[in-house]
Chains A and B, each alone.
Chain A
Amino acid sequence: MMQLDTQFFDYEGPEEPELMIPEGWEDRAPAGWEWETLWEAVETGDHIYTDERVREAISLNIDPRVILDDGLFPGFNLQADRFSAQVIFIPEMLISARAMKAGLALIRPLLAAQAEKPVGTFVIGTVLGDMHDIGQSIVTIMLENAGFNVINLGTDVHPDRFIETAQKESADLVGFSALLSTTVYYQKVTIEEFLNAGHRDKVKILVGGAPTTQDWADECGADGWGKDAVDAVKLALKLVETPRAAWN
């Protein structure tokens, strides 16, 4: 039996991602308050403790924006960085995202009451003919956690449904997922249908999924490509800032 070199495929990124502790968080919390257990809960995907701790923070009148930035994001961002660096994988990312979502569900109404608007509206779905949804489900949760209002149309979505929904919701961004080499063409078809309908300049379009690359994104006329869910969210946050024609 050969001797296995366990170092061969180990993580080779710059450094293992670390928890980024928000600077000056003590000044924004009541005396004696700690966030560490919540960071850890989101990191390890303990959605029950996350729910309890966020309720506690709300009952102490901690500002919802502070709960989000100081309490929820550190653990979640750590996992997102680890996911990108392939230190953790889909199951660990999913449970962390679920915990984040539990906290966010309590905070979102409070943010809305303070007139905080979503970062943008994002319509997402898997293109016509394709039933694979694990990738776009993860992207959806990550986008919601980043503050987007996300409308997920599910799988096997006809171009017309993308267009109707984008129009109805005045979407800022639209994202198409595909797993199969046979269905990835529908990313291009759907983009062409946006053009034909006269709406192409009103949205930024992202594509993703196994058979996609930056070259494919360029070829099919998309505005961007995410290599993974974390990348897609970073790109969405950038694209939502770029100018677009207005929906009437």
Chain B
Amino acid sequence: MKELLPRERFARAVRHEKVDRVPLLYRMKSEAKEKIARVYGVTKTGTGMKHNPELELRLGNDAIIYQIGINAQFSHRHIEIGETWYNHFGVGYGKSGLQGRTAEEHELFTKTQEFWGPAKVVPENFPNHHPITSLEELKNYTWPDPADPALLDPIKSLLDEYQDEYFIIVDLSSTLIEAAYAHLVGTQNFFLMLFDQPELIDGVLDGLTEYYTQLGKNVIDLGIDMIRVGDDIGAQQSMMISPAQWRELAKPRFQYMFDEFRKSNSEIFIKLHSCGDYSPIIGDMIELGVDLSGLMQPTGGNKNQVELKSKFGDDIAFIGGFDVQRLLPRGQVEQVRNGVCEVMKNLATGGGYIFSPSHYILADVPIQNIFTMLEAQRDFGTYGKYPLN
């Protein structure tokens, strides 16, 4: 088969059409990106709202993914120790690792960091102020502007510069349940209020649905290829909430959202993402008309990739499935290579698959494992060759 343009390769794989090789999509958090960029001599390493795709394209990405949801800003920006930074949703974020520590304690922290050499623990930014914890706060809450030019303008430039060659994805994560528990309401609060004040949860989810539907439509109108909706409802061993409760809380809202997206562009590709185990609702994703499901972290019910592929693989395309919890950061080179081969065998056979680690590449991944993954994906990701013959 003749070599396809990256954007064709990606779109064809999502449509389960024949491709020359398995398309790729790598994403990195800033520390990992800087580490890998040094090897390639790439200097533009922006992430989040300042995303620069140069390095990802060097690694072989067929698509460019640009994030504008509630996660886009906090996790990629520098927050000072002790500072609380507020985003456009009024959610406050602080930094872990060093919070409220004295200079002496800071030194101790640095000392323990050195223990692991290059695989440093990177202090994470984390929500520490949730703006909607009562009906009163919900009533007075002002939702952000879904037509904010600060969100939309960078997408126009990306489209102008790259869409001829690459497939353009805009990422709205986190969108619904996750945006509510992790950001607006607070996790434990959210779970208790499902029982104590269901009207509060309904109000928050309705507000998010409305905001993200409008934002998504605005983005689709710019001419992007795929919209990514991210909503973490998977824990390690199972889902966080019951599949039945997800069908009650999330499914009708996503149905409305996706129907609206398709009114803006009936051809728009839709990707729905969750971390952890979301295997019980893959059938529901198909019913919602989701085109691409990921990132398939092999935990809990996601572990049996062969079974998932045979059960659902004809009706939905998959992305991910390559373990980032243990294999990629801590596996030996040979294990990483075999792991890539295994995932290709399990998920890429018969098409409808995009190779990706099952989450961002983080700073703890040794550089040799990244190169091993890149090499293995070239060796095992070509159709007509082992293991895809």
A91 to B330, CA, bound (A): 33
Besides A89-B238, A185-B116, 13 new A-B residue pairs in contact (Cβ under 8 A), listed by A number:
A4-B283, A89-B240, A92-B242, A94-B188, A98-B192, A128-B112, A131-B128, A137-B188, A156-B96, A181-B326, A182-B363, A185-B119, A210-B299
Enumerate B8-39 residues with CB–CB distance to A below 8 Å.
none
A9 to B277, CA, bound (A): 12
A130 to B315, CA, bound (A): 38
Chain A: number of interface residues, binned into ranges: 35 or more
Tell whether, in the assembled complex, residue B109 and residue A158 are in contact, meaning their CB atoms are under 8 Å apart.
Answer: yes
Which 10 pairs show the lowest CB-CB distances between chains A and B? A131-B126, A211-B325, A129-B121, A91-B191, A4-B283, A210-B236, A129-B97, A131-B96, A86-B238, A182-B364
Report the nearest A residue to B101, measured CB to CB.
Answer: A158
A180 to B326, CA, bound (A): 10
Contacts A91-B241, A158-B105 given; indicate if A182 touches B112 (C-beta within 8 A): no
Contacts A1-B287, A158-B109, A180-B124 given; indicate if A89 touches B97 (C-beta within 8 A): no
Tell whether, in the assembled complex, residue B122 and residue A182 are in contact, meaning their CB atoms are under 8 Å apart.
Answer: yes
**A64 interface residue, CB < 8 Å from B?**
no
Report the nearest B residue to A155, measured CB to CB.
Answer: B96
Tell whether, in the assembled complex, residue B122 and residue A129 are in contact, meaning their CB atoms are under 8 Å apart.
Answer: yes
A8 to B116, CA, bound (A): 43
Tell whether, in the assembled complex, residue A9 and residue B112 are in contact, meaning their CB atoms are under 8 Å apart.
Answer: no
- Over the window 126-165 of chain A, the binary record of Cβ atoms lying under 8 Å from chain B Cβ atoms (1 yes, 0 no) is 0011110110010000000000000000011011100000
**B150 interface residue, CB < 8 Å from A?**
no
Contacts A9-B279, A131-B96 given; indicate if A181 touches B191 (C-beta within 8 A): no
Partner of B362 from the list A1, A86, A180 (CB cut-off 8 Å) is A180
**B157 interface residue, CB < 8 Å from A?**
no
Interface residues of B (CB under 8 A from A): 96-97, 99, 101, 105, 108-109, 112, 115-116, 119, 121-124, 126, 128, 187-188, 191-192, 194-195, 235-243, 245, 276, 279-280, 283, 286-287, 299, 301, 311, 314-315, 324-326, 329-330, 362-364
Q: Shortest distance in angstroms between A87's beta carbon and chain B's nearest beta carbon?
A: 9
Tell whether, in the assembled complex, residue A90 and residue B235 are in contact, meaning their CB atoms are under 8 Å apart.
Answer: yes
In the complex, chain B residues whose CB is within 8 Å of the CB of A5:
311
Contacts A129-B122, A131-B124 given; indicate if A91 touches B245 (C-beta within 8 A): yes
A186 to B97, CA, bound (A): 11
**A45 interface residue, CB < 8 Å from B?**
yes
A189 to B363, CA, bound (A): 18
A183 to B126, CA, bound (A): 14
Partner of B240 from the list A4, A90, A95, A133 (CB cut-off 8 Å) is A90
**A197 interface residue, CB < 8 Å from B?**
no
Contacts A2-B315, A156-B99, A181-B326 given; indicate if A94 touches B121 (C-beta within 8 A): no
Contacts A4-B283, A128-B97, A181-B364 given; indicate if A89 touches B245 (C-beta within 8 A): yes
In the complex, chain B residues whose CB is within 8 Å of the CB of A134:
187-188, 191
Partner of A89 from the list B105, B242, B276, B283 (CB cut-off 8 Å) is B242
In the complex, chain B residues whose CB is within 8 Å of the CB of A159:
112
Report the nearest B residue to A186, measured CB to CB.
Answer: B121
In the complex, chain B residues whose CB is within 8 Å of the CB of A181:
324-326, 329-330, 362, 364
Tell whether, in the assembled complex, residue A95 and residue B121 are in contact, meaning their CB atoms are under 8 Å apart.
Answer: no
